[in-house]
């Protein structure tokens, strides 16, 4: 497997998709093509469409998937634009799709990208799509204090959002904050000593990354739309890595797997709601201890699977 990114829960994803001969599958978040490689190598009669915003990921996936030429096509775009992609491909319905919400190992390890809080002199970038204008540096140096607090609370679930935001605002009044190390030190300084740890800046970095890339914008609507693009018996696999995304997926699955929602005292159904999916995983699947030891980044992964009825 390519060293660009190690796919998480690969066997569970392949099993969950229930690949069908002649089926068309959408890998919404290619990364380095690890999951896509698994899909294409598991069944020689499937077709794959892949999307990713990261140009480097597209290049790596194209190289990795070269042995399957003619059976896949790649699009550099946000997976939330899936309607445009399917229209371009001439596809009306899918046999399955995968959304891997995690950031790739390559993006974290490449200091030029500015995703890692453990880096010192990396630029505050955090863009998955380097063509866009908004960067982490802009968020940190130009967003109002109240906006920073909101982002840290909502996207990072950071308890000390207020003091961290205050420290950032005071610091940037003197000098522009330009590196991951500068930001990390400011975040750590806003957290009481007894709550500090080696990873205490992680939540704020996550929050800024989510803001920069709009990761939660339209996420719910996208998952619903993709589920409704599945053929009967089509499969959906969604991998999440933090509670914000997992809660959205859990609720969407629950809502679409529920039939009539009329009050129990109604003699007949008047809402007309029909069950659209069956939940295959009442509880999300998680990585084994062996996989976690091999790839520590898999520890927080949760895989939810559903079937179109």
Q: Decide if 3 is inside a domain.
A: no
CATH of the domain at 200: 1.10.150.170
Q: 33-65 b/e with 16+ CB inside 10 Å = b?
A: bbbbbbbbeebeebbbbbbbbbebbbebbeebb
Q: Report if residue 4 sits inside a domain.
A: no
- pLDDT, residue 4, reads 62
Residue 285 to residue 12: CA distance in whole angstroms: 8
- Tell whether 114 is covered by a domain: yes
Q: Max Cα separation, the chain?
A: 68
Residue 65: inside a domain: yes
Domain identity same for 90 and 221: yes
pLDDT given at position 3: 54
Shared domain for 228 and 193, answered yes or no, is no
Chain Cα centroid distance, residue 181: 25
Domain end point (choices 189, 213, 237): 213
Domain final residue pick, 213, 241, 264: 213
Same-domain check for residues 199 and 168: yes
309 residues of the chain, pLDDT tens digit each: 445 668 999 999 999 999 999 999 999 999 989 999 999 999 999 999 999 999 999 999 999 999 999 999 999 999 999 999 999 999 999 999 999 998 877 787 787 888 888 888 899 999 999 999 999 999 999 999 999 999 999 999 999 999 999 999 999 999 999 999 999 999 999 999 999 998 899 999 999 999 999 999 999 999 999 999 999 999 999 999 999 999 999 999 999 999 888 888 888 888 888 999 999 999 999 999 999 999 888 999 999 999 999
What is the Cα–Cα distance from 284 to 36, expressed in whole angstroms? 21
Residue 148 CA to residue 6 CA, distance in Å, equals 32
Assigned domain for 2 exists: no
Find the domain containing 63 and state its range: 10-101+216-308
Residues 183 and 119 in one domain: yes
The CATH number assigned to the domain holding 238 equals 3.40.50.150
Contacts of residue 240, defined as CB under 8 A and 6 or more positions apart, other chains included, come to: 101, 102, 246, 249, 284, 301, 302, 304
Q: Which of 160, 193, 213 is the last residue of a domain?
A: 213
State how many domains the chain has.
Answer: 2
Given this model, what pLDDT does residue 67 score?
Answer: 98
Computed on alpha carbons and rounded to an integer, the radius of gyration of the chain in Å comes to: 21
């Amino acid at each position: 497997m390519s060293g660009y990114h190690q796919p998480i829960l690969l066997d569970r994803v392949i099993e969950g998709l229930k690949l069908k001969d002649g089926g068309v599958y959408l890998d919404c978040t290619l990364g380095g093509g690890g999951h896509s490689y698994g899909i294409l190598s598991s069944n020689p009669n499937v077709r794959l469409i892949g999307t990713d915003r990261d140009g480097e990921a597209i290049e790596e996936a194209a190289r990795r998937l070269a042995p399957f030429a003619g059976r896949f096509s790649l699009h550099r775009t946000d997976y939330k634009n899936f309607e445009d992609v399917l229209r371009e491909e001439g596809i009306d319905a899918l046999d399955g799709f995968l959304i891997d919400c995690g950031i790739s190992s390559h993006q974290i390890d490449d200091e030029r990208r500015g995703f890692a809080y453990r880096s010192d002199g990396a630029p505050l970038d955090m863009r998955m799509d380097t063509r866009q204008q908004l960067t982490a540096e802009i968020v940190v140096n130009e967003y109002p204090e109240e906006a920073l607090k909101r982002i840290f609370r909502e996207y990072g679930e950071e308890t000390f959002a207020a003091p961290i935001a205050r420290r950032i605002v005071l610091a940037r009044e003197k000098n522009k904050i330009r590196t991951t190390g500068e930001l990390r030190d400011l975040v750590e300084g806003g957290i009481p000593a007894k709550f500090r740890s080696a990873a205490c800046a992680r939540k704020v970095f996550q929050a800024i990354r989510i803001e920069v890339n709009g990761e939660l914008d339209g996420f719910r609507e996208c998952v619903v739309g993709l589920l409704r693009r599945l053929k009967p018996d089509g499969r959906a696999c969604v991998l999440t890595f933090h509670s914000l995304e997992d809660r959205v997926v859990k609720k969407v699955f629950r809502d679409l797997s529920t039939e009539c929602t009329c009050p129990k005292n109604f003699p007949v159904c008047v809402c007309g709601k029909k069950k659209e999916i069956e939940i295959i995983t009442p509880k999300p699947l998680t990585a084994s201890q062996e996989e976690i030891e091999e790839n520590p980044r898999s520890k927080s992964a949760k895989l939810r699977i559903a079937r179109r009825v």
